[in-house]
Structure 1
Amino acid sequence: MARHNRFFRWCFTIILVLIIIYLGSRVSFIFKPVLSLFSMIIVPLMLAGFFYYLLRPLVNVMERHKVNRTVAILLIYLIFAIMMVGFSILVWPSLRTQLNNLVENAPALFTTLSEQVAEVEHNGFLSSFLPQDSNLLSKLTEYLNKGFTVFTEYLTGLFSFFSNFAIVLITFPILLFYMLKEGGKFGEQIVSFIPKRFRIHGKEVMDDIDHMLSSFIVGRVIVNVALGVLMYVGFLIIDLPYAMLLTVVAVILNFIPFIGSFLSSIPIVIIGFIEAPSIAIWSIVIITVAQQIQDNLISPYVFGKQLDIHPMTTIILVLMGGDIAGILGILLIIPVYMILKIVYSKVYELFFKQKWENA
């Protein structure tokens, strides 16, 4: 009888949740202002959270050395401003020049690429490996034209992004300042809403989530910067055009789980192939060696076993995140998954483990 009652309670709970979801979908217009506000603050909030975990250890160290926390944050802001000035003077002109040259020379580069493909296609050695009706040139040219169209549309879309960048530029430093100043009080405030008998467990969960996010973000930065250094040195050795720009793009794209490394390789190989097929081959070798060093030497040392996620799980999560929220979903899906995993483990341990494993 008790099992039947439990079954009916679960059925009733599921039906009630489905009814709530259905009713919520019928009055979705009520939530539009909230969703609009969320869409406006999600990017600065993500940036603030990202830099919070990067800078918090430094603020804590300064505070332990008797520096007022507010003063420590302001000093870090000052150092960051000096670094940005140095970046704008020493690095940005080269990046901007390479970016402008790439945009201006894009049509000529695609023409050269088509010529290179035609030469490779009619190469006596390679043609023996290709089917006679493969028509590689026309297919690749078609894909390149589509890619160039997407590329120009992307550049056009950048203007609308930078028109809204002022909102990020204003809100991000303010959010980051208060996050750094308050320190670990956010977790305490969340735990305060939990019933008293579960607050110890709630604090354990918040500590685990905080440690996981800190390790994940700091680890990703270290791993990607190391990958960028390896790739940039290799690109300089083979004299790859636009080496700095392509490396920066690769480092940024590698923050996207699983598919980022593939996406970042495409422009590198294309630019290398335009220069010479041998440069493209050496680019692939450098990318492969750098990623193998990252995956087998650097990542295990930095992350240990804390990111022990099966590759198939990662692929499914990335596809789900992209379908739900685009690029933001792809970036957030892995941390969200790990947070839910921590919460689920604690809930299972408290409420279900003893009943289910002793049944």
Structure 2
Amino acid sequence: MLQNRFFRLGAGIALILLIIYLGTLVDFIFVPIRSLISLTIVPLLITAFLYYPLRPLVNYLEKKKLRRSWSILLLYLLVIVILVVFSIIGWPTLRDQVKSFITSAPDFTRSIIAQVQVLEKQPFVQQFMPAGSSANSSEMLQKLTEYLNTVFDWLSVHISGMFSFVSNFVLVVATVPIMLYYLLKDDHKLATRLQQLFPGKYREDGKTMLNEIDDALSSFIAGRVLVNFALCVLLYIGFLIIDLPYSLLLVFLAFFLNFIPYIGAILSAVPVAIVGLIESPMMGVWSIVIVIVAQLIQNNLLEPIIFGNQLDIHPFTIIVLLLVGGDMGGILGMLLVIPIYMAAKISIVHLYRMYLKQKVSSELE
């Protein structure tokens, strides 16, 4: 009996994989699907990032006897005002900094190497360098040059990629407000409709599973938006104090990269340190000090208040997930892999419990 069930399961999986493989050979099926995903991924991502922070505000306004539709429109008006103010004050500066960074990236390596060579000639540094280390120093500078070229190529490509959604601006503006409006308006109805997908006797289990997924995603996305926004305010104030170039661009990068647990803090600190070092070694030191202080405030003050507890995922699992997500989808893959894993983990646990529940009930019968 077990063997028959095992072979049936194996044959079913093999058949599904065969169908998928054969389907990939048919371009007229998978090319439209690929195009649809590439077109909708950015609007869906923006919608999700706005839905979870705005939903508590809509629920709060609804409790104050304001109709849900009017609550959403009121928040839309507030968002429009913020976007207009940013487009007037912040966007021109951010746009110019992005263009300047991408244009000047090839020259950054030479500037950093020159700063390192100046630093090597300082008496304080030379006393720590062994005698006859000039050959080793030349080799190290060559390796540093190769590494920096790789880093700046990576930064240029990904910064360009992060701003490429501007080319789809019409699509984003046309779809995000509509999807977000109906998600917020039919929030309670959506949960009920999803529960209807489960068979009658598993409907309560399905409700519990969906609630856990919703709570996990809400805590991660809404909490991370608030924490990252507060972190970026701290960073921007610090960068303005030391007059760090590309400060708004670096803060913008830090906001998105810090959605990535553990690695995001390092990834966002690398361009800050490089830009600071280009100006002067002392500027590089002060920029790193500001990043460290802001991260300490985030980790020890902001996250305990907003999150209450950390992600229920082992750090080793997070690192593996980020490596896989980065290899499959770059920065976007690293941003999406943790929420997808959280939802999949909760779903698998509950579906397995439903399977055990059904198995026990069938044996009792």
Tell me the TM-score normalised to structure 2 length. Answer: 0.86
- Cα offset, 1:124, TM superposition: 4.5
1:126-172 CA deviation, whole Å, 9 max, x = no partner?
35447552422222223334444555555766786433332222111
User: Amino acid of the residue matched to residue 212 of structure 1?
Assistant: A
Q: Please report how far the alpha carbon of residue 195 of structure 1 lies from its aligned counterpart in structure 2 after TM superposition.
A: 0.7
Q: Structure 2 vs 1, CA of residues 55 and 159 (structure 1 numbering), >3 Å: closer, same or farther? A: closer
1:319 maps to what in 2?
323
> More displaced, 227-236 or 217-226?
227-236
Deviation at 1:81, TM superposition (A): 1.1
Aligned to 2:12: 16
* Whole-angstrom distance in 1 between the partners of 2:171 and 2:264: 27
Q: 1:305 to 1:354 in 2, by over 3 A?
A: farther
Q: Which residue of 1 aligns with 2:287?
A: 283
TM-superposed deviation, 1:43 = 1.5
Aligned to 1:42: 41
Cα 1:146–1:41 shift into 2, 3 Å: same
Q: 1:68 to 1:161 in 2, by over 3 A?
A: closer
1:333 aligns with 2:326: no
Residues 333, 152 of structure 1: CA spacing in aligned structure 2 closer, same or farther, 3 A cutoff? closer
Q: Does the 8 Å contact 2:97/2:246 carry over to 1?
A: yes
Distance in 1, Cα, partners of 2:72 & 2:167: 28
2: distance between equivalents of 1:317 and 1:16?
28
Change (3 A) 1:129 1:196: farther
Q: Does 1:264 align with 2:263?
A: no
Farther off after superposition, 269-278 or 247-256: 247-256
Change (3 A) 1:66 1:235: same
Write the distance in 2 (CA, Å) between the matches of 1:226 and 1:155. 22
Q: Which residue of 2 aligns with 1:229?
A: 233
Among all aligned residue pairs of Structure 1 and Structure 2, give the percentage whose two residues are the same amino acid: 46
How far 1:23 moved relative to its partner? 2.5
Other-structure match for 2:146 = 142
Q: Distance in 2 between matches of 1:353 and 1:162?
A: 50
Is 1:204 the counterpart of 2:200 in the alignment?
no
> For the residues of structure 2 that align with 1:105 and 1:320, how far apart are their CA atoms?
31
Aligned pairs (5 A) from 1:217-256: 217-256=221-260
**2:51 alignment partner, SS class:** helix
CA distance in structure 2 between the aligned counterparts of 1:174 and 1:209, rounded to whole angstroms: 24
Q: Following TM superposition, by how much is the alpha carbon of 1:125 offset from its aligned partner in structure 2, in angstroms? A: 4.0
Tell me the CA shift for residue 287 of structure 1: 1.6
CA deviation string 1:253-310 (max 9, x = no partner): 2123332222211111111112221221222222223223322332233223361211
Gaps of 5+ in 2: 361-365
The alignment covers a number of residue pairs equal to: 352
In structure 2, the CA distance between the partners of 1:145 and 1:31, relative to structure 1 (3 Å rule), is closer
- SS state of the match for residue 235, structure 1? helix
Separation in 1 of the partners of 2:300 and 2:283? 25
Matches within 5 A, 1:1-359: 5-28=1-24, 29=26, 30-103=29-102, 105-106=104-105, 109-127=108-126, 128-129=128-129, 132-134=135-137, 135-150=139-154, 161-305=165-309, 307-352=311-356
Q: Structure 2: which amino acid aligns with 1:175?
A: M
Residue 35 of structure 1 aligns to a residue whose secondary structure is helix
Q: State the secondary structure of the residue aligned to 2:136.
A: coil
> Whole-Å Cα distance in 1 between the matches of residues 94 and 30 of structure 2?
42
What is the rounded CA distance, in whole Å, between the counterparts of 1:149 and 1:207 in structure 2?
43
**Structure 1, residues 9-60: CA drift from partner, whole Å, max 9, x if none?**
1342033212221232112223442332222212211211221111111112
> What residue ranges of structure 1 are gaps of 5+ in the alignment?
none
Decide whether the 8 Å contact of 2:202 with 2:354 is kept in 1. Answer: no
Report the CA distance between 1:193 and its aligned residue.
1.7
Contact kept in structure 2, 1:257 and 1:331, CA below 8 Å: no
Q: CA 1:146–1:305 in 2, change beyond 3 Å: closer, same or farther? A: closer
Q: Which deviates further from its counterpart, 99-108 or 205-214?
A: 99-108
After superposition, what is the alpha-carbon deviation per residue over 1:67-122, rounded to whole angstroms, capped at 9, x for unaligned?
22222222221221111111122333443444455455555554432210211234
User: Normalising by structure 1, what TM-score?
Assistant: 0.87
For the structure 1 residues 86 and 255, does the alpha-carbon distance in structure 2 shift closer, same or farther, using more than 3 Å as the test?
A: same
Q: Partners of 2:335 and 2:325 in 1: how far apart?
A: 8
Partner AA of 2:23 in structure 1:
V
